[in-house]
Structure 1
Amino acid sequence: MMNAEFDISQRSFDFAVRIVKLCQFLEKQSGVPRTLANQLLRSGTSIGANIEEAQAGQSKADFIAKMSISRKEARETLYWIKLLEATELVTSDKIEGLKTEADEVVRILTSIVKTAQQRK
C-alpha cells in the first residue's frame, strides 16, 4: 500500500468521525432538515468506505473507479457543508475546519485518481 493511500484512508476515517458528530449535533438542533443531515452523513461516511474498497480492488480499473466514487462523495460532502454554512444552519466557526478538510480530501483524491490513470 502506498503511503499516500494510507494517509487518505486514515484521514477519511477521521473525517467521517467528525461528520457523524456534526450530524448528531444537527439532529439536536431545531430547524435543521433531517434530509440535509442524512445526506451529509451518507456522503461524508462513504468517502472512507469507498477508499477501503479501492484498496482491495481486483484491478487497476477497479481501484480508479472506487477512488473516483470516493472523490465524488467528497465533493458532495463539501457541497452540503457549504450549504449548511450559507443557510446559517451552522455557524462558520463550527464547520470551517470540516470545510477545509473536505476540500483537502477532494484534492488528494483527485491527485490519486490522476496518478493511477497515468500509470494505467
Structure 2
Amino acid sequence: MSGKKFDLENRLVDFAANIVMFCKDLPRDITGEYYGNQLLRSGGSAALNFGEAQGTNSDRDYINKAGLSLKELKESRVNLKILTKVHYGNPNKIQELLDEVEQLIKIMATIIKNKQ
C-alpha cells in the first residue's frame, strides 16, 4: 500500500470520527435525529467504501467503490450545508467539517479520474 492511500484512508477515518463526535452534540429533536443519523451513515460510509476499494482486483471495481465513497462525501457535504442553514450544531465545527469534506471530494474525484 502506498503512503498516499494510507494517508487518505486516515483522513477518511478521521472525518468519520469527527462526524460521530459532531452528531453526538446535535439537538435530540426530530431534525437533529434525522439529519444526524443521515450524516452518521454517509460520513462513515465514505471511509468504509474506500476501504473496500483498496481490496479490489480491477480498476473497474476500484472506480465503482471509490465512486460510492465520493457519492457519500457529497451527501455529507449537502447535509452539513442544510444543518448550517437551519443553525443546527456548532457553526465552527460545521465549517471545519465542510472544509475537510470539500478537500476529500476533490481528492477522491481526482483519484477516480486518474484511474479511468
Equivalences for 1:33-44 in 2 at 5 Å?
Answer: 33-44=32-43
Structure 2: where are the runs of 5+ without partners?
A: none
My pick for the range that moved more, 74-83 or 84-93, is 84-93
Partners of 1:6 and 1:91 lie apart in 2 by: 30
Alpha-carbon spacing, 1:53–1:30, altered in 2? closer, same or farther (3 Å): closer
Structure 1: segments with no counterpart, 5+ residues? none
Question: Which one is further off, 83-92 or 67-76?
Answer: 83-92
- Residue 57 of structure 2 corresponds to 58
Rounded Cα–Cα distance in structure 1 between residues aligned with 2:20 and 2:93: 14
Report the CA distance between 1:63 and its aligned residue: 0.5
Q: Where do 1:41-120 residues align within 5 Å? A: 41-117=40-116
Per the alignment, residue 3 of structure 1 pairs with 3
Matched residue count: 115
- Compute the RMSD of aligned alpha carbons: 1.2
State the Cα deviation string for residues 38-66 of structure 1 (Å, max 9, x = none): 10000000011000000001211111100
User: What percent identity do the matched residue pairs reach?
Assistant: 36
Q: Distance in 2 between matches of 1:90 and 1:24?
A: 10
TM-score by length of 1: 0.90
TM-score by length of 2: 0.93
Corresponding residue for 1:23? Answer: 23
- Kindly state the Cα deviation for residue 30 of structure 1 after the two structures are TM-superposed: 4.2
